[in-house]
Amino acid sequence: MLELGGRLGIVLLTLTACYVLRRYVRISGARSLPCPPGPPTLPVIGNIMDMGPPSAWLKFTEYERTYGNLVYFQGLGKSVLVVNSLKAMDELLEKRAKKYSDRPVLIFGNLAGFNRIFAMCDYGEEWRAQRKLAHASLSPAAVKDYAIMQEDVAVGLVKDLLKTPEDFHSLIRVAAGRIVITITYGTRPGSIEDEFVLIAEEANKIAGRAVIPSVYLCDILPILKYAPSWVPFQRTAAYSRQVIHNMLNKPFEHVKEMQAGTAPPSLVQRLLSDPPENILNLEERVKGTAGTMYAAVAETTYSAVLTFVLAMALNPDKQRLAQAEIDRVVGMDRLPIIEDMPNLPYINAVIKETMRWNPSLPLGIAHRSSEDDVYEGYFIPKSTIVIPNVWAVAFEPNEKYEPRAFLPERFLDASWPVVDPSTWAFGFGRRICPGRFLAENSLFIFIATLLSAFNISPPENGEINAHFKGFSTNLLEPFGCRITPRSGTKANLVEARAAQSAT
Ligand code: HEM
Protein backbone atom coordinates (compact mmCIF):
# COMPACT_ATOMS: atom_id res chain seq x y z
CA MET A 1 0.00 0.00 0.00
CA LEU A 2 2.80 2.35 1.04
CA GLU A 3 4.69 1.45 -2.12
CA LEU A 4 1.62 2.26 -4.26
CA GLY A 5 1.22 5.65 -2.54
CA GLY A 6 4.90 6.37 -3.09
CA ARG A 7 4.66 5.55 -6.81
CA LEU A 8 1.56 7.67 -7.19
CA GLY A 9 3.42 10.53 -5.49
CA ILE A 10 6.32 10.18 -7.92
CA VAL A 11 3.95 10.15 -10.92
CA LEU A 12 2.14 13.26 -9.64
CA LEU A 13 5.43 15.03 -8.95
CA THR A 14 6.71 14.20 -12.45
CA LEU A 15 3.47 15.40 -14.07
CA THR A 16 3.58 18.66 -12.09
CA ALA A 17 7.23 19.20 -13.00
CA CYS A 18 6.41 18.57 -16.71
CA TYR A 19 3.51 21.04 -16.56
CA VAL A 20 5.63 23.74 -14.87
CA LEU A 21 8.48 23.16 -17.33
CA ARG A 22 6.16 23.27 -20.37
CA ARG A 23 4.57 26.46 -19.10
CA TYR A 24 8.01 27.98 -18.44
CA VAL A 25 9.24 27.01 -21.91
CA ARG A 26 6.03 28.36 -23.47
CA ILE A 27 6.24 31.67 -21.59
CA SER A 28 9.97 32.15 -22.10
CA GLY A 29 9.47 31.11 -25.75
CA ALA A 30 6.66 33.64 -26.05
CA ARG A 31 8.87 36.33 -24.54
CA SER A 32 11.38 35.84 -27.32
CA LEU A 33 8.70 36.74 -29.87
CA PRO A 34 8.49 40.36 -31.05
CA CYS A 35 5.83 42.71 -29.68
CA PRO A 36 3.47 44.09 -32.37
CA PRO A 37 4.87 46.91 -34.53
CA GLY A 38 4.50 50.59 -33.67
CA PRO A 39 6.07 54.02 -34.26
CA PRO A 40 9.84 54.35 -33.63
CA THR A 41 10.91 54.46 -29.98
CA LEU A 42 13.21 56.72 -27.91
CA PRO A 43 15.10 55.65 -24.77
CA VAL A 44 12.92 55.51 -21.58
CA ILE A 45 9.86 57.23 -23.03
CA GLY A 46 9.68 54.72 -25.91
CA ASN A 47 6.90 55.80 -28.29
CA ILE A 48 4.18 56.30 -25.66
CA MET A 49 4.01 60.05 -26.38
CA ASP A 50 2.92 59.26 -29.95
CA MET A 51 -0.47 58.19 -28.60
CA GLY A 52 -1.42 61.79 -27.83
CA PRO A 53 -4.98 63.08 -27.50
CA PRO A 54 -7.24 64.69 -28.65
CA SER A 55 -9.06 62.66 -31.30
CA ALA A 56 -6.39 59.94 -31.04
CA TRP A 57 -8.64 57.58 -33.06
CA LEU A 58 -7.82 59.51 -36.26
CA LYS A 59 -4.11 59.08 -35.64
CA PHE A 60 -4.53 55.38 -34.77
CA THR A 61 -6.52 54.79 -37.95
CA GLU A 62 -3.71 56.43 -39.94
CA TYR A 63 -1.11 54.28 -38.15
CA GLU A 64 -3.05 51.24 -39.33
CA ARG A 65 -1.86 51.94 -42.88
CA THR A 66 1.78 51.72 -41.79
CA TYR A 67 1.72 49.15 -38.98
CA GLY A 68 -1.43 47.10 -39.58
CA ASN A 69 -4.22 45.91 -37.32
CA LEU A 70 -2.14 45.88 -34.16
CA VAL A 71 -0.19 49.00 -33.19
CA TYR A 72 1.98 48.81 -30.10
CA PHE A 73 3.18 51.64 -27.89
CA GLN A 74 5.45 51.37 -24.87
CA GLY A 75 7.48 53.55 -22.54
CA LEU A 76 7.50 54.94 -18.98
CA GLY A 77 6.74 51.44 -17.69
CA LYS A 78 3.53 51.08 -19.72
CA SER A 79 2.57 49.05 -22.76
CA VAL A 80 -0.46 49.84 -24.88
CA LEU A 81 -1.90 47.87 -27.79
CA VAL A 82 -4.28 49.62 -30.18
CA VAL A 83 -6.44 47.10 -32.02
CA ASN A 84 -7.79 48.26 -35.39
CA SER A 85 -9.78 45.27 -36.70
CA LEU A 86 -13.03 43.71 -35.52
CA LYS A 87 -11.49 40.25 -35.94
CA ALA A 88 -8.66 41.01 -33.49
CA MET A 89 -11.05 42.79 -31.05
CA ASP A 90 -13.25 39.72 -31.13
CA GLU A 91 -10.35 37.29 -30.69
CA LEU A 92 -8.66 39.13 -27.82
CA LEU A 93 -11.46 40.87 -25.90
CA GLU A 94 -14.27 38.40 -26.56
CA LYS A 95 -12.80 34.91 -27.05
CA ARG A 96 -9.88 35.42 -24.65
CA ALA A 97 -11.96 37.55 -22.26
CA LYS A 98 -10.56 35.75 -19.21
CA LYS A 99 -7.16 37.32 -19.92
CA TYR A 100 -8.36 40.72 -21.17
CA SER A 101 -10.99 41.99 -18.75
CA ASP A 102 -9.07 44.15 -16.26
CA ARG A 103 -9.11 47.93 -16.51
CA PRO A 104 -6.05 50.23 -16.74
CA VAL A 105 -4.66 51.25 -13.33
CA LEU A 106 -5.50 54.91 -12.69
CA ILE A 107 -3.44 56.11 -9.74
CA PHE A 108 -5.19 59.48 -9.46
CA GLY A 109 -8.55 57.81 -10.15
CA ASN A 110 -7.97 55.44 -7.22
CA LEU A 111 -6.93 58.33 -4.94
CA ALA A 112 -10.17 60.08 -5.93
CA GLY A 113 -12.24 56.99 -5.10
CA PHE A 114 -13.27 55.87 -8.59
CA ASN A 115 -12.28 52.31 -7.70
CA ARG A 116 -15.59 52.12 -5.81
CA ILE A 117 -17.52 52.08 -9.08
CA PHE A 118 -17.38 48.90 -11.09
CA ALA A 119 -16.80 50.34 -14.56
CA MET A 120 -13.31 51.19 -13.34
CA CYS A 121 -12.69 48.09 -11.16
CA ASP A 122 -10.48 45.18 -12.19
CA TYR A 123 -12.11 41.90 -13.14
CA GLY A 124 -12.48 40.63 -9.58
CA GLU A 125 -14.96 40.14 -6.77
CA GLU A 126 -16.12 43.77 -6.47
CA TRP A 127 -16.68 44.01 -10.23
CA ARG A 128 -18.56 40.69 -10.28
CA ALA A 129 -20.94 41.70 -7.46
CA GLN A 130 -21.75 45.15 -8.87
CA ARG A 131 -22.06 43.79 -12.42
CA LYS A 132 -24.62 41.26 -11.14
CA LEU A 133 -26.61 44.15 -9.65
CA ALA A 134 -26.38 46.09 -12.93
CA HIS A 135 -27.55 43.08 -14.88
CA ALA A 136 -30.53 42.55 -12.55
CA SER A 137 -31.70 46.11 -13.13
CA LEU A 138 -30.79 46.55 -16.81
CA SER A 139 -31.77 43.24 -18.43
CA PRO A 140 -34.12 43.41 -21.46
CA ALA A 141 -37.02 42.48 -19.15
CA ALA A 142 -36.09 45.03 -16.45
CA VAL A 143 -35.73 47.98 -18.85
CA LYS A 144 -39.38 47.65 -19.91
CA ASP A 145 -40.25 49.27 -16.55
CA TYR A 146 -38.38 52.44 -17.50
CA ALA A 147 -40.05 53.00 -20.88
CA ILE A 148 -42.65 55.52 -19.69
CA MET A 149 -40.00 57.56 -17.86
CA GLN A 150 -37.87 57.63 -21.01
CA GLU A 151 -40.85 58.78 -23.07
CA ASP A 152 -41.62 61.50 -20.50
CA VAL A 153 -38.05 62.81 -20.57
CA ALA A 154 -38.06 62.86 -24.40
CA VAL A 155 -41.34 64.80 -24.39
CA GLY A 156 -39.86 67.19 -21.79
CA LEU A 157 -36.95 67.81 -24.17
CA VAL A 158 -39.15 68.65 -27.17
CA LYS A 159 -41.33 70.88 -25.01
CA ASP A 160 -38.24 72.82 -23.85
CA LEU A 161 -37.05 73.03 -27.47
CA LEU A 162 -40.32 74.68 -28.48
CA LYS A 163 -39.40 77.57 -26.15
CA THR A 164 -35.66 77.94 -26.71
CA PRO A 165 -34.59 75.87 -29.73
CA GLU A 166 -31.28 77.75 -29.94
CA ASP A 167 -30.30 76.13 -26.61
CA PHE A 168 -30.48 72.65 -28.11
CA HIS A 169 -26.94 71.78 -27.00
CA SER A 170 -27.57 72.35 -23.30
CA LEU A 171 -31.16 71.05 -23.43
CA ILE A 172 -30.02 67.73 -24.92
CA ARG A 173 -27.29 67.54 -22.28
CA VAL A 174 -29.78 68.08 -19.47
CA ALA A 175 -32.24 65.57 -20.94
CA ALA A 176 -29.50 62.91 -21.23
CA GLY A 177 -28.60 63.56 -17.56
CA ARG A 178 -32.25 63.51 -16.56
CA ILE A 179 -32.89 60.16 -18.14
CA VAL A 180 -30.13 58.53 -16.14
CA ILE A 181 -30.91 60.22 -12.81
CA THR A 182 -34.61 59.44 -13.19
CA ILE A 183 -34.01 55.80 -14.03
CA THR A 184 -31.29 55.27 -11.43
CA TYR A 185 -32.92 57.07 -8.50
CA GLY A 186 -36.51 57.69 -9.58
CA THR A 187 -36.38 61.38 -8.66
CA ARG A 188 -38.77 63.87 -10.19
CA PRO A 189 -37.69 67.18 -11.77
CA GLY A 190 -36.98 70.04 -9.44
CA SER A 191 -34.21 71.30 -7.28
CA ILE A 192 -33.22 67.94 -5.80
CA GLU A 193 -32.81 66.34 -9.22
CA ASP A 194 -30.85 69.34 -10.44
CA GLU A 195 -28.58 69.05 -7.40
CA PHE A 196 -27.85 65.40 -8.26
CA VAL A 197 -27.19 66.31 -11.89
CA LEU A 198 -24.71 69.00 -10.78
CA ILE A 199 -22.83 66.61 -8.48
CA ALA A 200 -22.73 63.93 -11.18
CA GLU A 201 -21.55 66.43 -13.82
CA GLU A 202 -18.71 67.50 -11.52
CA ALA A 203 -17.75 63.84 -10.95
CA ASN A 204 -17.83 63.31 -14.72
CA LYS A 205 -15.43 66.21 -15.26
CA ILE A 206 -13.06 64.72 -12.69
CA ALA A 207 -13.31 61.28 -14.34
CA GLY A 208 -12.68 62.82 -17.78
CA ARG A 209 -9.30 64.14 -16.55
CA ALA A 210 -8.46 61.08 -14.44
CA VAL A 211 -8.53 58.75 -17.46
CA ILE A 212 -5.89 60.81 -19.32
CA PRO A 213 -2.61 59.29 -18.09
CA SER A 214 -0.57 62.48 -18.54
CA VAL A 215 -2.74 64.90 -16.54
CA TYR A 216 -1.58 64.00 -13.02
CA LEU A 217 2.08 63.45 -12.15
CA CYS A 218 1.23 60.44 -9.98
CA ASP A 219 0.02 58.55 -13.09
CA ILE A 220 3.44 59.04 -14.69
CA LEU A 221 5.42 58.34 -11.46
CA PRO A 222 3.20 56.09 -9.31
CA ILE A 223 5.45 56.43 -6.23
CA LEU A 224 4.10 59.98 -5.95
CA LYS A 225 0.77 58.63 -4.72
CA TYR A 226 2.43 58.72 -1.27
CA ALA A 227 3.19 62.46 -1.59
CA PRO A 228 2.02 64.65 1.35
CA SER A 229 -1.45 66.14 1.37
CA TRP A 230 -0.29 69.70 0.54
CA VAL A 231 1.02 68.68 -2.92
CA PRO A 232 -1.43 70.18 -5.50
CA PHE A 233 -2.62 66.88 -7.02
CA GLN A 234 -3.25 65.47 -3.53
CA ARG A 235 -5.44 68.48 -2.77
CA THR A 236 -7.34 67.92 -6.02
CA ALA A 237 -7.66 64.23 -5.06
CA ALA A 238 -9.11 65.14 -1.63
CA TYR A 239 -11.67 67.46 -3.28
CA SER A 240 -12.48 64.77 -5.86
CA ARG A 241 -12.97 62.14 -3.11
CA GLN A 242 -15.57 64.40 -1.52
CA VAL A 243 -17.38 64.86 -4.86
CA ILE A 244 -17.39 61.09 -5.51
CA HIS A 245 -18.58 60.48 -1.95
CA ASN A 246 -21.48 62.90 -2.49
CA MET A 247 -22.29 61.37 -5.86
CA LEU A 248 -22.51 57.89 -4.37
CA ASN A 249 -24.30 58.83 -1.17
CA LYS A 250 -26.63 61.83 -1.59
CA PRO A 251 -29.10 60.48 -4.18
CA PHE A 252 -28.89 57.02 -2.62
CA GLU A 253 -29.89 58.32 0.83
CA HIS A 254 -32.74 60.22 -0.82
CA VAL A 255 -34.17 56.97 -2.26
CA LYS A 256 -33.70 55.18 1.06
CA GLU A 257 -35.64 57.87 2.88
CA MET A 258 -38.51 57.36 0.45
CA GLN A 259 -38.33 53.56 0.57
CA ALA A 260 -41.31 53.08 2.86
CA GLY A 261 -43.60 52.40 -0.09
CA THR A 262 -43.38 55.83 -1.71
CA ALA A 263 -40.23 55.55 -3.82
CA PRO A 264 -41.05 55.61 -7.55
CA PRO A 265 -39.66 52.68 -9.59
CA SER A 266 -35.93 53.02 -10.13
CA LEU A 267 -32.78 50.96 -10.40
CA VAL A 268 -31.85 51.63 -6.74
CA GLN A 269 -35.36 51.01 -5.46
CA ARG A 270 -35.52 47.72 -7.41
CA LEU A 271 -32.15 46.53 -6.06
CA LEU A 272 -32.91 47.45 -2.45
CA SER A 273 -36.37 45.91 -2.38
CA ASP A 274 -35.57 42.79 -4.43
CA PRO A 275 -31.78 42.20 -4.46
CA PRO A 276 -30.23 39.29 -6.37
CA GLU A 277 -29.08 36.42 -4.15
CA ASN A 278 -25.70 36.24 -2.40
CA ILE A 279 -24.66 39.89 -2.59
CA LEU A 280 -22.67 40.83 0.49
CA ASN A 281 -22.33 44.43 1.58
CA LEU A 282 -25.44 45.23 -0.48
CA GLU A 283 -25.84 48.95 0.23
CA GLU A 284 -22.26 49.92 -0.61
CA ARG A 285 -22.44 47.88 -3.79
CA VAL A 286 -25.77 49.34 -4.88
CA LYS A 287 -24.20 52.79 -4.38
CA GLY A 288 -21.27 51.81 -6.60
CA THR A 289 -23.50 50.34 -9.30
CA ALA A 290 -25.81 53.36 -9.31
CA GLY A 291 -22.83 55.78 -9.24
CA THR A 292 -21.37 54.15 -12.36
CA MET A 293 -24.48 54.98 -14.36
CA TYR A 294 -24.18 58.72 -14.74
CA ALA A 295 -20.59 58.54 -15.96
CA ALA A 296 -21.50 55.73 -18.35
CA VAL A 297 -24.69 57.20 -19.76
CA ALA A 298 -24.89 60.96 -19.86
CA GLU A 299 -22.07 61.70 -22.32
CA THR A 300 -22.62 58.73 -24.62
CA THR A 301 -26.32 59.50 -25.06
CA TYR A 302 -25.69 63.24 -25.40
CA SER A 303 -22.99 62.68 -28.01
CA ALA A 304 -25.22 60.35 -30.05
CA VAL A 305 -28.27 62.66 -30.02
CA LEU A 306 -26.17 65.70 -31.02
CA THR A 307 -24.63 63.68 -33.84
CA PHE A 308 -28.14 62.85 -35.01
CA VAL A 309 -29.11 66.57 -35.02
CA LEU A 310 -26.05 67.39 -37.12
CA ALA A 311 -26.73 64.50 -39.52
CA MET A 312 -30.32 65.68 -40.05
CA ALA A 313 -29.29 69.29 -40.67
CA LEU A 314 -26.80 68.08 -43.28
CA ASN A 315 -29.06 65.46 -44.90
CA PRO A 316 -32.58 66.87 -45.44
CA ASP A 317 -33.52 64.02 -47.82
CA LYS A 318 -32.87 61.38 -45.13
CA GLN A 319 -34.82 63.48 -42.61
CA ARG A 320 -37.87 63.63 -44.90
CA LEU A 321 -37.78 59.84 -45.38
CA ALA A 322 -37.59 59.28 -41.61
CA GLN A 323 -40.45 61.72 -40.91
CA ALA A 324 -42.59 60.11 -43.60
CA GLU A 325 -42.14 56.72 -41.95
CA ILE A 326 -43.17 58.10 -38.54
CA ASP A 327 -46.21 59.86 -40.00
CA ARG A 328 -47.27 56.69 -41.81
CA VAL A 329 -46.76 54.24 -38.92
CA VAL A 330 -47.38 56.33 -35.78
CA GLY A 331 -49.95 58.68 -37.34
CA MET A 332 -50.41 62.41 -36.85
CA ASP A 333 -52.30 62.49 -33.57
CA ARG A 334 -49.77 61.10 -31.12
CA LEU A 335 -46.02 61.12 -30.47
CA PRO A 336 -43.94 57.94 -30.88
CA ILE A 337 -43.54 55.51 -27.98
CA ILE A 338 -40.88 52.85 -27.37
CA GLU A 339 -43.29 50.09 -28.42
CA ASP A 340 -43.27 51.55 -31.95
CA MET A 341 -39.61 50.60 -32.38
CA PRO A 342 -40.04 47.26 -34.23
CA ASN A 343 -42.38 48.91 -36.75
CA LEU A 344 -40.00 51.68 -37.81
CA PRO A 345 -37.17 50.09 -39.84
CA TYR A 346 -35.97 53.34 -41.41
CA ILE A 347 -35.71 55.07 -37.99
CA ASN A 348 -33.75 52.08 -36.69
CA ALA A 349 -31.42 52.39 -39.69
CA VAL A 350 -30.99 56.13 -38.96
CA ILE A 351 -29.99 55.24 -35.38
CA LYS A 352 -27.47 52.62 -36.52
CA GLU A 353 -26.03 55.08 -39.05
CA THR A 354 -25.78 57.79 -36.34
CA MET A 355 -23.79 55.37 -34.18
CA ARG A 356 -21.53 54.46 -37.10
CA TRP A 357 -21.06 57.92 -38.62
CA ASN A 358 -19.68 59.33 -35.38
CA PRO A 359 -19.20 56.65 -32.69
CA SER A 360 -19.71 58.17 -29.20
CA LEU A 361 -16.80 56.17 -27.80
CA PRO A 362 -14.43 55.81 -30.78
CA LEU A 363 -11.90 53.97 -28.63
CA GLY A 364 -14.46 52.04 -26.57
CA ILE A 365 -13.23 51.76 -22.98
CA ALA A 366 -9.74 50.33 -22.54
CA HIS A 367 -9.21 46.82 -21.13
CA ARG A 368 -5.98 45.52 -19.56
CA SER A 369 -4.46 42.05 -19.86
CA SER A 370 -3.88 39.98 -16.73
CA GLU A 371 -1.48 37.43 -18.31
CA ASP A 372 1.22 37.26 -20.97
CA ASP A 373 -0.25 36.26 -24.33
CA VAL A 374 0.66 35.55 -27.95
CA TYR A 375 -1.47 36.63 -30.90
CA GLU A 376 -0.65 36.31 -34.61
CA GLY A 377 2.99 35.61 -33.74
CA TYR A 378 3.36 38.67 -31.51
CA PHE A 379 4.04 38.74 -27.78
CA ILE A 380 1.59 40.81 -25.68
CA PRO A 381 2.98 41.26 -22.17
CA LYS A 382 0.84 41.00 -19.03
CA SER A 383 -0.64 44.37 -17.96
CA THR A 384 -0.85 45.69 -21.55
CA ILE A 385 -3.62 48.27 -21.95
CA VAL A 386 -5.74 47.19 -24.92
CA ILE A 387 -7.65 49.89 -26.81
CA PRO A 388 -10.28 48.82 -29.37
CA ASN A 389 -10.18 51.53 -32.06
CA VAL A 390 -13.78 51.02 -33.22
CA TRP A 391 -13.49 54.19 -35.30
CA ALA A 392 -11.37 52.18 -37.77
CA VAL A 393 -14.15 49.57 -37.97
CA ALA A 394 -16.83 52.24 -38.53
CA PHE A 395 -14.87 53.79 -41.40
CA GLU A 396 -13.56 50.63 -43.02
CA PRO A 397 -13.35 51.14 -46.80
CA ASN A 398 -16.48 49.89 -48.55
CA GLU A 399 -16.90 49.44 -52.30
CA LYS A 400 -20.62 50.20 -52.41
CA TYR A 401 -21.31 52.67 -49.60
CA GLU A 402 -18.91 55.58 -49.01
CA PRO A 403 -17.92 55.42 -45.30
CA ARG A 404 -17.99 59.22 -44.79
CA ALA A 405 -21.53 59.62 -46.20
CA PHE A 406 -24.59 59.45 -43.91
CA LEU A 407 -26.54 56.62 -45.54
CA PRO A 408 -29.07 54.74 -43.34
CA GLU A 409 -29.84 52.68 -46.47
CA ARG A 410 -26.64 50.67 -45.97
CA PHE A 411 -28.43 48.88 -43.11
CA LEU A 412 -31.50 48.06 -45.19
CA ASP A 413 -29.71 46.52 -48.16
CA ALA A 414 -29.90 42.73 -47.84
CA SER A 415 -27.66 42.31 -50.91
CA TRP A 416 -24.67 44.03 -49.28
CA PRO A 417 -23.51 42.77 -45.88
CA VAL A 418 -22.55 45.49 -43.40
CA VAL A 419 -21.47 45.14 -39.80
CA ASP A 420 -24.17 46.26 -37.37
CA PRO A 421 -22.67 48.93 -35.05
CA SER A 422 -24.31 47.25 -32.05
CA THR A 423 -21.64 44.53 -32.42
CA TRP A 424 -18.84 47.00 -31.57
CA ALA A 425 -20.32 50.27 -30.20
CA PHE A 426 -21.10 48.77 -26.78
CA GLY A 427 -17.74 47.11 -26.15
CA PHE A 428 -16.64 43.52 -25.82
CA GLY A 429 -16.56 40.32 -23.83
CA ARG A 430 -17.33 40.28 -20.13
CA ARG A 431 -17.15 44.07 -19.91
CA ILE A 432 -19.75 44.65 -22.66
CA CYS A 433 -22.01 47.61 -21.82
CA PRO A 434 -24.72 46.31 -19.47
CA GLY A 435 -26.87 49.35 -20.32
CA ARG A 436 -27.10 48.66 -24.05
CA PHE A 437 -30.81 47.70 -24.01
CA LEU A 438 -31.68 50.85 -22.10
CA ALA A 439 -29.39 52.92 -24.36
CA GLU A 440 -31.09 51.62 -27.51
CA ASN A 441 -34.48 52.60 -26.07
CA SER A 442 -33.22 56.08 -25.08
CA LEU A 443 -31.73 56.77 -28.50
CA PHE A 444 -34.84 55.54 -30.22
CA ILE A 445 -37.26 57.65 -28.18
CA PHE A 446 -35.16 60.85 -28.36
CA ILE A 447 -34.63 60.52 -32.10
CA ALA A 448 -38.18 59.44 -33.03
CA THR A 449 -39.74 62.18 -30.85
CA LEU A 450 -37.47 64.89 -32.31
CA LEU A 451 -38.26 63.76 -35.87
CA SER A 452 -41.96 63.63 -35.18
CA ALA A 453 -42.11 67.15 -33.73
CA PHE A 454 -39.45 69.20 -35.55
CA ASN A 455 -37.74 70.06 -38.78
CA ILE A 456 -33.99 70.34 -38.33
CA SER A 457 -32.18 72.54 -40.85
CA PRO A 458 -28.96 74.55 -41.30
CA PRO A 459 -28.79 78.07 -39.74
CA GLU A 460 -30.08 81.09 -41.70
CA ASN A 461 -26.68 81.71 -43.32
CA GLY A 462 -26.69 78.09 -44.51
CA GLU A 463 -23.30 77.30 -42.98
CA ILE A 464 -22.85 74.49 -40.50
CA ASN A 465 -19.54 74.68 -38.68
CA ALA A 466 -19.31 71.44 -36.77
CA HIS A 467 -16.15 70.36 -34.97
CA PHE A 468 -15.59 67.33 -32.82
CA LYS A 469 -13.49 67.34 -29.68
CA GLY A 470 -12.73 64.96 -26.85
CA PHE A 471 -10.26 62.45 -25.50
CA SER A 472 -12.48 59.46 -24.89
CA THR A 473 -16.02 60.60 -25.83
CA ASN A 474 -16.34 62.15 -29.28
CA LEU A 475 -18.37 65.28 -28.54
CA LEU A 476 -19.50 67.98 -30.93
CA GLU A 477 -18.52 71.57 -30.14
CA PRO A 478 -21.53 73.95 -30.21
CA PHE A 479 -22.75 74.48 -33.78
CA GLY A 480 -25.66 76.44 -35.21
CA CYS A 481 -28.81 74.91 -36.68
CA ARG A 482 -32.56 75.61 -36.74
CA ILE A 483 -35.05 73.42 -34.94
CA THR A 484 -38.61 74.45 -35.81
CA PRO A 485 -41.98 72.74 -35.11
CA ARG A 486 -43.26 70.84 -38.15
CA SER A 487 -46.68 72.49 -37.66
CA GLY A 488 -48.88 74.25 -35.11
CA THR A 489 -50.74 70.97 -34.61
CA LYS A 490 -47.48 69.19 -33.74
CA ALA A 491 -46.56 71.94 -31.26
CA ASN A 492 -49.99 71.55 -29.58
CA LEU A 493 -49.53 67.79 -29.49
CA VAL A 494 -46.20 68.21 -27.66
CA GLU A 495 -47.75 70.58 -25.10
CA ALA A 496 -50.70 68.25 -24.52
CA ARG A 497 -48.50 65.16 -24.12
CA ALA A 498 -46.08 67.03 -21.80
CA ALA A 499 -49.00 67.97 -19.54
CA GLN A 500 -49.71 64.25 -19.00
CA SER A 501 -46.10 63.42 -18.01
CA ALA A 502 -45.46 61.90 -14.61
CA THR A 503 -41.99 63.48 -14.39
C1 HEM B 1 -25.26 55.33 -26.63
C2 HEM B 1 -25.13 54.90 -25.41
C3 HEM B 1 -24.01 54.03 -24.89
C4 HEM B 1 -22.86 53.61 -25.49
C5 HEM B 1 -22.37 53.90 -26.90
C6 HEM B 1 -22.14 52.80 -24.51
C7 HEM B 1 -20.94 52.19 -24.76
C8 HEM B 1 -20.21 51.51 -23.80
C9 HEM B 1 -18.91 50.92 -24.03
C10 HEM B 1 -18.14 50.97 -25.35
C11 HEM B 1 -18.51 50.37 -22.87
C12 HEM B 1 -17.18 49.67 -22.61
C13 HEM B 1 -17.33 48.16 -22.73
C14 HEM B 1 -15.98 47.49 -22.67
O15 HEM B 1 -15.23 47.72 -21.72
O16 HEM B 1 -15.62 46.77 -23.63
C17 HEM B 1 -19.54 50.60 -21.89
C18 HEM B 1 -19.46 50.19 -20.58
C19 HEM B 1 -20.44 50.44 -19.67
N20 HEM B 1 -21.68 51.00 -19.91
FE21 HEM B 1 -22.34 51.76 -21.64
N22 HEM B 1 -22.87 52.75 -23.37
C23 HEM B 1 -24.02 53.48 -23.54
C24 HEM B 1 -25.02 53.65 -22.63
C25 HEM B 1 -25.06 53.07 -21.39
C26 HEM B 1 -26.20 53.06 -20.51
C27 HEM B 1 -27.58 53.64 -20.84
C28 HEM B 1 -25.80 52.45 -19.34
C29 HEM B 1 -26.57 52.16 -18.08
C30 HEM B 1 -27.74 52.57 -17.76
C31 HEM B 1 -24.42 52.08 -19.50
C32 HEM B 1 -23.67 51.45 -18.54
C33 HEM B 1 -22.37 51.01 -18.73
C34 HEM B 1 -21.54 50.45 -17.67
C35 HEM B 1 -21.95 50.28 -16.21
C36 HEM B 1 -20.33 50.08 -18.26
C37 HEM B 1 -19.14 49.44 -17.59
C38 HEM B 1 -19.20 47.92 -17.72
C39 HEM B 1 -18.05 47.21 -17.05
O40 HEM B 1 -16.98 47.82 -16.87
O41 HEM B 1 -18.22 46.03 -16.73
N42 HEM B 1 -24.01 52.45 -20.76
N43 HEM B 1 -20.59 51.28 -22.49
Q: Are 453 and 494 in contact (CB under 8 A)?
A: yes
What's the whole-number mean pLDDT along residues 222-226?
89
Residue 278 region by backbone torsions, left for phi larger than 0, else alpha for psi between -120 and 50, else beta: left
CA–CA separation, 35 vs 373, rounded Å? 10
Evaluate: CB of 360 within 6 angstroms of ligand 1.
yes
pLDDT of residue 19: 47
Q: Are 392 and 57 in contact (CB under 8 A)?
A: yes
Q: Torsion over CA of 117, 122, 126 and 132, rounded to 10 degrees? A: 80
Strand arrangement, sheet containing 70-75: 70-75, 78-83, 385-388, 367-368
- When pLDDT is cut at 50, 70 and 90, the band that residue 261 belongs to is low
Task: Please check the confidence at residue 253 and state whether its pLDDT lies above 70.
Answer: yes
Closest CA to 211 of 110, 335, 344, 280: 110
- When pLDDT is cut at 50, 70 and 90, the band that residue 320 belongs to is very high
Evaluate: CB of 385 within 6 angstroms of ligand 1.
no
pLDDT of residue 9: 53
How does pLDDT run across 462-493, given as a tens digit for each residue?
Answer: 888 888 877 777 888 889 999 999 999 999 99
pLDDT of residue 25: 45
How does pLDDT run across 292-305, given as a tens digit for each residue?
Answer: 887 667 788 999 99
pLDDT of residue 334: 96
Helix, strand, coil % in the chain, rounded to nearest 5? 60, 10, 30
Task: State the DSSP string of 407-430.
Answer: -GGGGT-TTS----GGGTTT--GG
Best mutation site among 90, 426, 431 for ligand 1 pocket (most ligand atoms within 8 Å of CB) = 426
How far apart, in Å, do the first and last CA atoms of the chain sit? Answer: 77
CA–CA separation, 476 vs 478, rounded Å? 6
Evaluate: CB of 432 within 6 angstroms of ligand 1.
yes
Residue nearest to atom 8 of ligand 1 (CA): 426
What's the CA-to-centroid distance between 92 and ligand 1, angstroms? Answer: 19
How does pLDDT run across 359-403, given as a tens digit for each residue?
Answer: 999 999 999 999 999 999 999 999 999 999 999 999 998 888 999
Task: Please check the confidence at residue 326 and state whether its pLDDT lies above 50.
Answer: yes
How does pLDDT run across 6-25, given as a tens digit for each residue?
Answer: 554 554 444 444 444 454 44
CA–CA separation, 448 vs 157, rounded Å? 12
218 annotated as ligand-binding:
no
- Between residues 257 and 166, which one has the greater pLDDT? 166
Share of the chain above pLDDT 70, in %: 90
- What are the two backbone dihedrals, phi and then psi, of residue 341, each rounded to the nearest 5 degrees? -50, -50
The 10 Å Cβ neighbour count of residue 119 is 22
CA–CA separation, 318 vs 304, rounded Å? 17
Q: Are 255 and 266 in contact (CB under 8 A)?
A: yes
- The mean pLDDT of the chain is 88
pLDDT of residue 198: 83
pLDDT of residue 29: 65
- Which of the residue ranges 79-83, 167-171, 186-190, 438-442 would you say has the lowest mean pLDDT? 186-190
Return the ligand 1 atom nearest residue 359 CA. Answer: 5
